[in-house]
Amino acid sequence: MESQRKVDERILNAKSGWGMLFLFIIGIIVGIVLSIFSQTVDGFAEIVMIAVSIILFVFCIIMLGGFKVINPNEAVVLTLFGKYYGTLKKEGFYWVNPFSSAFNPASGALAGLGKKISLKAMTLNNEKQKVNDEEGNPIEIGVVVIWKVVNTARAVFDVDNYVSYISTQCDAAIRQVARQYPYDVSENGDEKSLRGSSVEIAEILRKEIQSRVDIAGIEICEARIAHLAYSPEIAAAMLQRQQASAIIAARQKIVDGAVSMVEMALKKLNENGIVELDEERKAAMVSNLLVVLCGNKDAQPIVNSGSLY
C-alpha cells in the first residue's frame, strides 16, 4: 500500500496590506473621476472613459477582498482553486490573492477562531477511561495533554480534523502505555509503575502520543496523568491488600527493632556484669522484652518479690 504523501508547509510572502489598500483607494477614486469627466466628452471617448471607470472600480472592489489580519500566534492556511496556496503565520495586515480562501476543517471545534489556526499551546483534558494494567487489573486513568500546531499544512490537509485526531490518538496511546506497566510497584520494586514512576511514565506517554500525531503537524509539549485509581469494582479489595502490606511492613520493622534492642540489652548486662543469667533466664528475659516491645498495648508490670523459680 502506498504511503500517504505529506504536505510541506509553505510560508506565503504576502504584500503589505496598507500599501495595497492605498493603491486600491486611489484606483476607486480614479474610476469615479473618470466617470465624472466622461460627461464632458462625447462619442467614442465617452464610452471608453465610462468603460474604463467601471472596470477599474469593479476591479478595485474585488481586490479589496484580499485583505487578511493575522493576530499573534495565529495562522491562516490559504487554498486557491483547490490547491494549497500558502500559509500566513506572521502577525500583521496583509493582502493576498482575493480568490484564495482560508481553509480549516477544525474551525467548528475551536470556537472564536473561525478559519484561523491557533499556534498557541492548548490543553486537552482527556476524559477518564477504564483500562487494564500489566497485571490485568481494571483501572481508571485520565491524562492532560499540552499540545500545539507546528505545521499548519499537515494539520489541515493530512488529517480530517486535527482536534478530533489528537483526542483519538491520546485515547489509544493511554491504553497502549497503561497495559505495559502495573498500577503499583511489585514486591521486588525494580520496575516502573503507573503510580510510583509518574515522571517516567509521563515522558513515555508523551513520546507515544508524539509518534502518533507527527502526521498531523502537532507537537506534544507535555503529557501528565491527572487521575489514576482502581476501578470501583476492585477498589475495596485493593485497599485491603494495600493495608495488609502496610501492616506487614510495619510489623517487620517493629520486630527488627525489638530484636536489636534485646540483643543490645543482653550485651550491656553481660559487659557491665550487672547480673549473671543462665540460658533459661535469658530466654525468659528475651520473651518478656519482645512482648513489651512488639505488643500493641502498654505492658502492665508485675513485681516479683520472690525467686524466679
C-alpha span between 77 and 213 (Å, rounded): 19
Q: Say which range, 59-63, 134-138, 214-218, 231-235, has the weakest mean pLDDT.
A: 231-235
Q: Determine the pLDDT at residue 88.
A: 92
Look at residue 222 and give its three-state secondary structure. Answer: strand
pTM: 0.69
Q: Where in the chain is the domain with CATH 3.30.479.30?
A: 122-230
157 phi/psi in degrees, rounded to 5 = -100, -25
Cβ proximity of 281 and 308 under 8 Å: yes
Pairwise pLDDT comparison (165 vs 41), residue with the higher score: 165
Contacts of 156 (CB under 8 A, 6+ apart): 77, 103, 104, 105, 117, 162
pLDDT, residue 146, reads 93
Q: How many CB atoms lie within 10 A of CB 139?
A: 24
Cα dist from 11 to 116, 151, 153, whole Å: 15, 10, 10
Question: What's the pLDDT score for residue 210?
Answer: 94
What's the confidence (pLDDT) of residue 51? 87
What cell numbers appear for 272 in the block?
557491665
Which pLDDT tens digit goes with each residue over 31-82? 888 888 877 777 777 788 888 888 988 999 999 988 999 999 999 999 999 8
Rounded alpha-carbon distances, angstroms, from residue 235 to 68, 139, 140, 242:
56, 9, 10, 10
pLDDT, average across residues 270-276: 68
Question: At 211, is the pLDDT very low, low, confident or very high (cuts 50, 70, 90)?
Answer: very high
Q: Name the class of domain 122-230.
A: alpha beta
